[in-house]
Chain A
């Protein structure tokens, strides 16, 4: 009984086990007295009220059963965002209202509320979500596919150069078909894939104008055309093959750029804390990708021009390439509407330019051809597509810097990456 004085001092138990042992001994040794009430009151007040039970059970129950329960379900408690989640988890582990009664709670919900309230809240940040990587097979597929249109286009041009007459016609048709199919394949998978439908017609028209339009305009203004194009740059209706080959080859930088843009943006998405942060960090990325593509296209234009011995036609090809890239990027990220609109407008502008030149030949309608003639007089035939595509590209660039820097534009890619990562093909 020497330790009784220490025991009866009201204090928080330092460890439940030792306190339990000593108090049990004291309770069994000693007759109930005034000190009896003091000892339990220092611990769990609820347990002290069960006076009718034998002392040993009282002391065992006093050792904070909820704490033990929390320890057993610590994973559940750590990740719970509200008490009901703990309640659901507890029930899934077989805790019922009758179990909760043993913890002196009316039901599982109130037990869960106590547990939720007692979760230690230290300010550690949640682990950063890991970056899902794109499956290897899909990446390989688009890397193989991306140069395909350029290669086929070069082959088609070579075929045009090497053949004459009817075989040349066949070569042109087969080449155009093959390039179209390859382009379609590139746009169907890889980073240039888009969920929305796009207007292939207007894209074809724009590329067709780059191939034939300048020659046609030139000949039209000089009174032609007198014959159909023969596939060479020196004929009566000159054909500009070099920019088209360069554009077809530029599928590779376009795909790489789009891939870079998507992956980098996704990485910034996971790392940025706010929407404004994200926009600010993606804008330079977008401009960088745009500059990369334009530079690559310029190099390709110089190369093809040198190889094919044609003038490189920088302005019209560069603006057209920029327009197509931006339209594709917008479409890929779910803003197909604006892209389609601008492509249509550019194509319509070119068509109108040609139409006014021919309409100006009608008696009394000479004034119709005046604007185009003035433009050509200043800039040459390249002025028309450059103006049309340049204005379109600038519009799309302004639009893209607003739209593609938003987080919602990357939501689809974000979700898609998660889906493909979880279910590889």
Chain B
């Protein structure tokens, strides 16, 4: 094995005293730059052009150039595959794709034993979907619900094992055995009301949809050179994209991070309104249970906003695992606008967005009529393009309403009049960019009745505008206290808020500055990338080394899996790998101090090898534990000690990193006072 100090990427090694002080230099290495190999799991997303969340994934991958990404992508359609990939940065080591749209039959017919295994697993799956209250895994504390969740997990991993051992799962999932198991489960006395009414076509459709959803089970990604080789899986969305992550954890003990900007289960409910109730019920149960299972096994779940967070909690996610990471938006186009002094017309209101009925422009026009009564000089600029034919019709309707409500006005008897409400689009000579649109007015208004994460509002915040918005979606969460919020569908309240801001330039300025500061703090790409960087390292800190290397005599090799083991590619002699049931340091009794040389074997297993969040000699308290106490540490060789409290903060556990142990100076750990 290679013990050259040059391989130590993480530890400062003090230079010896024989050098003159002026020449003494610390080796300049990237401290805290543990290189993590991340398996990015996407569904209909990242490497494909025009997929979902491509921009976010691209920014994440480009922002974390010190790590390595393996992209595992599931594609939605042939069209998507034909469109090709976005340009990939060099840190993307490999891309493996699988299609969810074409079904290829691997022609494996099961023998009797495999058939029985399949029937048993699928029967359990069907029973878990049909019985109990589907879509209500929140009551996980109840015995029945836990039982169903366990049944679902048993069936899921049973099918995955079967697919790995025998193959041919695709055929089996569409076979008569599967349909029969579904029918039996639906006719069971305890079945859900909607499921009891399932007819044969419904059963067939459900079987086909389940086969479709379970297709990741048949993939060959869960080998040691596939997802087994990554340090952590990052699922870019819930649902099918998280399924490979679950299986990677099942087969290879890879920790899983799930990011959901829109909750998959909710999307399922909203996109399936027309199917028969039996199909909707069974599929909703499947998605609900899959979500619960994903949340149960994920190390960390990062919802994009409080709304997604509420859904995740509702679906059974533990609060301790949830970290809200707001979506990052590029602040650069708005920097100039945000820093420039206000030069806009102080009587102008601006609305920016895509024009569709959910934006409730009618309410905005009514509110503007009230505003005009209070402030006769006010103007309203509606900036945006209609989305789709529905949006176009809505735009025409709004234009007609505006013409009815507000007659054209002229400055004098010889001037050409104009309407106080103008409909414009970005890209014209007056408003070349979005930043110009926001800065064109004194107040930015948002009048939606339905909204997810209000990106337009955040852009307005970047521009340092005072905003008045309706209380929908994640608006309150985004705006905080830096803008005015009124109830939706309440033109009078909207008008009052706008008038208040129009009449008070100082307040406008104050709110705008606060909004810009808030947006720069919370909604930039950098914070998003940094948050994920921290979460990656946090997960790795809590994840033990997954394998123990053995030497020729079968003894565990100390330090055989150092930090460099995460450098991709093999650099040291191959050694035998033995699976280990759990983290050594977790099962060992906590020791007050540990001498690295005294217990080399244990140190090797205890070595988490992802040294890296802080500088040498610092202490990182495990956030999963109570975190109430910290341990001070002074180490001779730049050792790092991770202190954490267990069970009330009485025991201090010090875990050395192997890099520390390799430093020949004796390691001594002084115990910090547990506060």
Contact B281 A414 (CB under 8 A): no
Which chain B residue lies CB-closest to A411? B204
Interface bin, chain B = 35 or more
For residue B533, give the distance in angstroms from its CB to the closest CB of chain A: 32
Is A98 an interface residue, CB under 8 A from the partner?
yes
**B180 and A275 within 8 A (CB):** yes
Q: Is A391 in contact with chain B by the CB < 8 A criterion?
A: no
Partner of A269, one of B105, B138, B204: B204
Interface centre among B133, B176, B200, B270 (most CB of A within 10 A): B200
Q: In the complex, which residues of chain B have a beta carbon less than 8 angstroms from the beta carbon of A196?
A: 105
Q: How far is the CB of A91 from chain B (nearest CB, A)?
A: 8
A280 CB → nearest B CB, Å: 12
Is B197 close to A, CB under 8 A?
Answer: yes
Q: Is B597 an interface residue (CB 8 A)?
A: no
Q: Flag whether B354 is at the interface (Cβ < 8 A).
A: no
- With a cutoff of 8 Å between Cβ atoms, the chain B residues found around residue A93 in the complex are 449-450
Quick check: is B35 within 8 A (CB to CB) of the other chain?
no
Complex contact A278–B200 (CB within 8 A)? yes
Is A28 engaged at the interface, CB distance under 8 Å to the other chain? no
Cβ of B488 under 8 Å from chain A: yes
A408 touches B200 (CB 8 A): no
Complex Cα gap A415–B202 (Å):
11
**In the bound complex, do residue B199 and residue A84 qualify as a contact, i.e. CB atoms below 8 Å apart?**
no
Known A-B contacts A82-B281, A84-B288, A406-B176; the reply to A275 vs B270 at CB < 8 A is no
Q: A140 within 8 Å of B by Cβ? A: no
CB proximity to B under 8 Å, residues A248-285: 269-270, 272-275, 277-278
B269-A85 in contact (CB<8A)? yes
* Residues B133 and A79 in contact, CB atoms below 8 Å apart: no
In this assembly, does A107 line the interface, its C-beta being within 8 Å of a C-beta of chain B? yes
Check if B569 is an interface residue, CB within 8 A of chain A.
no
Which of A96, A97, A278, A411 is B208 in contact with, Cβ under 8 Å?
A411
Q: Which of B105, B109, B135, B200 contacts A84 (CB 8 A)?
A: B135
Also in contact, A79 and B277, with CB within 8 A (given A93-B450, A94-B488, A96-B471): yes
Query: B-facing mask of A70-109, CB < 8 A → 1, else 0?
Result: 0000000001011111001101111011100000000101
Take A84-B314, A93-B450 as given contacts and tell me if A415 and B205 are in contact as well, using a CB distance cutoff of 8 Å: yes
Which of B192, B203, B284, B489 is close to A275, meaning CB atoms less than 8 Å apart? B203
Q: A79-B277, A81-B281 are in contact. Are A407 and B176 (CB under 8 A)?
A: yes
- Given A88-B266, A275-B179: A125 touches B207 (CB 8 Å cut-off): no
Question: Smallest CB–CB gap between A141 and chain B, Å?
Answer: 24
A243 to B178 alpha-carbon distance, docked (Å): 43
**A96 to B472 CA separation, bound complex (whole angstroms):** 7
Contact indicator A414/B178 (Cβ below 8 Å): no
Q: A82-B281, A109-B314 are in contact. Are A273 and B200 (CB under 8 A)?
A: yes
Bound Cα distance from A270 to B200, whole angstroms: 7
- Enumerate chain B residues within 8 angstroms of A337, measured Cβ to Cβ: 107, 109
Cβ of B179 and Cβ of A407 under 8 Å apart?
Answer: yes
A32 contacts which chain B residues (CB < 8 A)? Answer: none
When the two chains form their complex, are residues B208 and A274 in contact, meaning their CB atoms are under 8 A apart? no
B123-149 toward A: CB 8 Å interface, digit per residue (1/0)?
000000000011110100000000000
Q: A84-B265, A84-B314 are in contact. Are A408 and B178 (CB under 8 A)?
A: yes
B136 & A82 in contact (Cβ 8 Å cutoff): yes
Residue A363 is within 8 A (CB to CB) of chain B in the complex: no
A3 / chain B contacts, CB cutoff of 8 Å: none
How many residues from A make CB contacts under 8 Å with B? Answer: 39
Residue in chain A with minimal CB distance to B171: A334
Shortest CB-to-CB span from B486 to chain A, Å, is 12
A364 interface residue, CB < 8 Å from B? Answer: no
User: Are B175 and A273 in contact (CB-based, < 8 A)?
Assistant: no
- On chain A, the residues within 8 Å of B174 by CB distance are 408, 411
A85 B204 Cβ-Cβ under 8 A: no
Q: Is B280 an interface residue (CB 8 A)?
A: yes
Complex Cα distance, B307 from A98, in Å, reads: 13
Q: Does B400 contact A (CB under 8 A)?
A: no
- A51 contacts chain B at the CB level, 8 A cutoff: no
Asked if B450 contacts A92 (CB within 8 A), the reply is yes
Per the bound structure, the CA–CA distance linking A96 and B284 in Å amounts to 22
B487 CB contacts on chain A under 8 angstroms: 98
Q: Given the complex of chains A and B, what is the CA–CA distance between A67 and B201 in angstroms?
A: 35
Contact A94–B472 (Cβ < 8 Å): yes
The yes or no answer to A5 lying at the interface (CB within 8 A) is no
Are B265 and A273 neighbours in the complex by a CB distance under 8 Å?
no
Q: Is the CB of B277 within 8 A of A81?
A: yes
Which has the most chain A C-beta neighbours within 10 Å: B176, B205, B276, B473?
B176
The interface residues of chain B lying within 8 Å CB-to-CB of A109 are 138, 310, 314
Asked if B194 CB lies within 8 Å of chain A CBs, one says yes
Chain B: which residue is nearest A266 at the CB level? B201
Q: In whole angstroms, how far apart are the Cα atoms of A327 and B30 in the complex?
A: 68
- The answer to whether B281 touches A408, judged by C-beta atoms less than 8 angstroms apart, is no
List A contacts of B109 (CB < 8 A).
337
Contact yes or no, A85 B183, CB < 8 A: no
Say whether B201 contacts A414, CB under 8 Å. Answer: yes
A129 contacts partner chain B, Cβ-Cβ < 8 Å: yes
B273: CB under 8 A from chain A? yes
Q: Mark B421-442, 1 if CB is under 8 A from A, else 0.
A: 0000000000000000000000
List the A side residues contacting B134 at CB < 8 Å: 81-82
Shortest beta-carbon distance, A217 to chain B, in Å?
36
Pair B472/A408 contact, Cβ less than 8 Å: no
Question: How far does the alpha carbon of A109 sit from the alpha carbon of B315 in the complex, in Å?
Answer: 11
A94 and B450: CB pair below 8 A?
yes
Which residues from chain A contact B200 at a C-beta distance below 8 Å? 269-270, 272-275, 277-278, 407
> Does A223 reach chain B (CB closer than 8 Å)?
no
A410: chain B residues within 8 A (beta carbon): 204
A315 to B205, CA, bound (A): 43
**B window 547-597: CB within 8 A of A:** none
A126 at the interface (CB under 8 A from B): yes
A126:B265 contact, CB within 8 angstroms: no
* Nearest CB of B to A100, in Å: 11
Residue contact B310 to A107, C-beta cutoff 8 Å: yes
| Bound Cα distance A410, B201 (Å) | 9
Residue of A94, A109, A275 contacting most chain B CB atoms (<10 Å)? A94
Which residues of A from 3 to 38 have beta carbons under 8 Å from B?
A: none
**Given the complex of chains A and B, what is the CA–CA distance between A272 and B205 in angstroms?**
15
**Contact assessment for B280 and A407 in the assembled complex, using a CB-CB cutoff below 8 Å:** no
Binary contact track B13-56/A, C-beta < 8 Å → 1, others 0: 00000000000000000000000000000000000000000000
Interchain CB contact under 8 A, B136 and A84: yes
Q: A118-158: which residues lie under 8 A (CB-CB) from chain B?
A: 121, 125-126, 129
Contact status of A88 and B280, CB under 8 A, knowing A125-B197, A273-B199: no
Residues of chain B within 8 A of A414, CB atoms compared:
201, 204-205
Given contacts A109-B314, A270-B201, contact A81 B284 (CB under 8 A): yes
Q: In the complex, are the beta carbons of A407 and B266 less than 8 A apart? A: no
**Closest Cβ–Cβ distance, residue B268 to chain A (whole Å):** 9
In Å, the complex CA distance between A275 and B203 comes to 9
Complex: A84 Cα to B471 Cα, angstroms: 22
Query: A125 to chain B: which residues have CB within 8 Å?
Result: 197
Q: Which B residues lie within 8 Å of A92 (CB)?
A: 270, 450
Sort A-B residue pairs by CB-CB distance and give the 8 closest, nearest first: A82-B135, A88-B269, A81-B281, A94-B449, A84-B135, A411-B204, A408-B176, A406-B176
14 CB < 8 A contacts A-B:
A81-B194, A82-B133, A84-B266, A93-B450, A94-B488, A97-B310, A121-B193, A269-B204, A270-B201, A275-B179, A275-B200, A407-B204, A408-B174, A415-B204
Q: Residues of B with Cβ closer than 8 Å to A?
A: 105, 107, 109, 133-136, 138, 174-176, 178-180, 183, 187, 192-194, 197, 199-201, 203-205, 207-208, 265-266, 269-270, 273, 276-277, 280-281, 284, 288, 307, 310, 314, 449-450, 471-473, 487-489
**Seed contacts A91-B450, A269-B204, A407-B176; 20 additional CB < 8 Å A-B pairs:** A79-B277, A81-B277, A82-B281, A83-B135, A84-B265, A84-B269, A88-B266, A92-B270, A93-B450, A125-B197, A273-B200, A275-B180, A275-B183, A406-B176, A407-B200, A408-B178, A409-B176, A411-B208, A414-B204, A415-B208
